[in-house]
Amino acid sequence: MVQKRRSWKNYLYVVTILFFTLGFFNIIFAWLGFACLTLPFILLAKNKRKTWCQGYCPRASLFGVLFHNRSLTGKGGPNWLVRGKAKWFVLIYFLFNLFVLTMSTLMVFMGRREPVESIRFLIAFTLPWDMPQFLNLGIFPDWTMHLSFRMYSMMFTTTVLGLLLAWIFKPRTWCTVCPVNTVSNLILDKTRNEV
Ligand code: SF4
């Protein structure tokens, strides 16, 4: 039997686990989430293809490790989800989330509102527990803490939704509606049309 060679890419899921674990030590580590938002587009601009999605996304790696050949139905998502308008709703929700994150952080920065120091699911639902902060890294400005909690919440929400879809359908069903994929496709389409 031919054994498949495992590369470091097989272990990218560890990055996702590490990201959420680090939040329990100090929420400021949630700033690492900005890498997940920017790296796909930096690689897209450099390589003119979805390099991140095709081999480097730690979240997709986690979906694969947990649910490859283990999902409930073993089928792709329903048409309304994977081929319908769902990806546009998810993109609008994501952009709205980014807008709220930016504006609320600005308000905290200007001293017009208190920072929100809790994790929320889908913006509206506050998780009923406080994040333990095992590692004291000193005092950070309120706006940086607010932004950290908002970034962690955004990553938490999309990962939970992705895990749910992976559990029910195929592991990478989330990718069909993931805003990174939708925006990447828009950019690639535009680039091809300009050639
Ligand atoms: S579509 Fe989203 S979740 Fe899927 S690989 Fe790309 S960035 Fe990761």
CA of 174 to the centre of ligand 1 (A): 8
Q: Which of 39, 59, 67 to mutate to test the pocket of ligand 1 (most atoms within 8 A of CB)?
A: 59
Q: What are phi and psi of 68, to 5 degrees?
A: -60, 120
What are the residues whose beta carbons fall under 8 Å from the beta carbon of 103, sequence distance 6 or more? none
Task: Please state the pTM of the whole predicted model.
Answer: 0.93
- Tens-digit pLDDT profile for residues 90-113: 999 999 999 999 999 999 999 999
Is the pLDDT score of 1 beyond 80? no
If we measure between CA atoms, which residue out of 123, 122, 159, 178 comes closest to residue 23?
159
- Give per-residue pLDDT as tens, 133-173: 999 999 999 999 999 999 999 999 999 999 999 999 999 99
pLDDT digits (tens, 9 = 90+) for 22-37: 999 999 999 999 999 9
Cβ of 180 less than 6 Å from ligand 1: yes
Contact of 174 with 159, CB cutoff 8 Å: no
Average pLDDT score over the chain: 94
Beta bridge partners of 125: 121
Q: Residue 1 class from Cβ within 10 Å (0-12 exposed, 13-18 middle, 19+ buried)?
A: exposed
How many angstroms does the Cα of residue 95 sit away from the middle of ligand 1? 16
